[in-house]
Structure 1
């Protein structure tokens, strides 16, 4: 908190220390607020498997607190940042994010002035606790990278892209929509090789450690069960809604052209990814 204040040095910025599990503190944080971006989560799959009750308290109870507090304080809009792991979840983290999506979307049906929407996306490259900083640290300490499976694929976008998409969502007038970012995916082995090219050397090793409990080989952003209610929404999104507005109701749903939207279908070349510029960890 002190570092944030010093870095931004803006009287309009108010830093509040608290816990999303504490309704009173969440209610206090929502006072005189126009837009809430909900990114609070216990997000690591293996940790959620090991400590399920803690994950539930943060990801489900915390989201419930946020919905209640936003309505009580007449917040204009709540934008929940969800995860591809919420789609067809097989691990506890994904299940809690799926429940969180339902809680947010239910908020749009409670008759308040607050609008609610969900953005379901993949992994932000270089975000706190994510794989790229971890790999860079591994190279510096052990000159190796560990991956779980050479065939594993994941969706990725850069941090500037993620921020831009959030601000685009603030301009939407749709209440109760689940927005899905259109984004490229890659094999984790390919991403590992790009990281080694920038931060390793000819002796840097890749160690395959095996898939961990709760992990998928490929991720899904729109399931085949959701495509009948999914529509194109501009260049950046698909939107999943059972109540399409005038902009959507004349469009064909995605099940006419796409069974599901998964990371294996959208593999991209990584040779143009600006790794060195994106992750200045040296």
Structure 2
């Protein structure tokens, strides 16, 4: 699928980018070019120690910011496929610096879309977040706007062989800034802060996220927001799995935080289909009909009023399952 293709990943030095690069190099040894586009020279230097260009001749490290459309256009020369992972995603930082978040997550998305429309790119997959469904914080609102931009970009692609799609998933286990590394770092204190004892979150591994993006590159029609069927966990169970000896201190929910995360709202149900492994929220506005999509993909429409959130999800991870997953996926931080 990706052999003899040139790929650019924005935000390529993040947790997802590293896992995506590792997978592509392992599964597609004949990939022509793999461009790591990001703004942090130190992170690129550190990534190059793991994936040096002399050992991986397809790799290029390209300094740039998605806020800079001209730099994006330069980076897209000769590129076939784009994975958009660049974002400002820390909720408190976004609330304190709102327009900085808007410039990266919304204006940066539009810069990428404009540059792709004027290039020979054929596939674009943008990473979203569960916080974009019925958002209550600025980060979620910017990602919802970004999702809308990528979906609508299919309306102006003309007769180009170009498809824009979005993948939306929950908290990535062990990613930077997520709860599990935070709890691991606090084990020695003897107490773990819990915002709300009823809080739940979706869970997905980095590899599952990478596999979903690869599936989208190959199969998406363009305009879908793809949502995986993944398990949930209780925050209190994560704390128990990480540090059963620690007491759990209830500190209260933070501004902009939900008790349960949503990925599909009831309002989305009227254009959402079940594909088996994934749900797809289909575009509204005539790109193609739900009937055609279902007929050709084997998908089935969900019931009106269907919603998908981490609290009502029928699939929950137990403490033992969480412990095993943390041992497997949180590299270098295995729990004794």
Alignment TM-score, normalising by the size of structure 2: 0.77
Partner of residue 149, structure 1: 196
Which of the residues 160, 175, 185 maps onto 2:232?
Answer: 185
Query: Map of 1:166-181 to 2, 5 A cutoff?
Result: 166-181=213-228
- In the superposition, relative to structure 1, how do residues 90 and 30 fare at CA in structure 2: closer, same or farther (>3 Å)? same
Distance 1:75 1:6 in 2: 29
Q: Given the alignment, which residue of 67, 73, 84 partners 2:130?
A: 84
d(CA) in 2 for partners of 1:127 and 1:251? Answer: 31
1:2 aligned residue: 45
* Alpha-carbon separation, structure 2, partners of 1:6 and 1:189: 37
| Contact residue 231 and residue 317 of structure 2 kept, 8 A | no
Which structure 1 segments of 5+ residues have no match? Answer: none
2:92 is the alignment partner of 1:46? yes
User: Would you say how many aligned residue pairs link Structure 1 and Structure 2?
Assistant: 274
Match of 1:265 in 2: 312
1:237 to 278, 284, 290: 278
What is the CA-CA distance between 1:268 and the residue it aligns to? Answer: 0.6
* Unmatched 5+ stretches in structure 2: 1-43
Please point out which of 179, 203, 206 is paired with 1:131: 179
**Does the 8 Å contact 2:165/2:220 carry over to 1?**
no
User: In the alignment, which residue of structure 1 is the partner of 2:330?
Assistant: 279
Q: CA-to-partner distance for each residue in 1:139-166, whole Å, 9 max, x for gaps? A: 24x2322121111111111111111111
Which of structures 1 and 2 has the larger relative contact order (alpha carbons within 8 angstroms, sep 6+)? 1
Which of 245, 258, 262 aligns to 1:220? It is 262
Relative to the length of structure 1, the TM-score reads 0.91
1:251 positional shift: 5.5
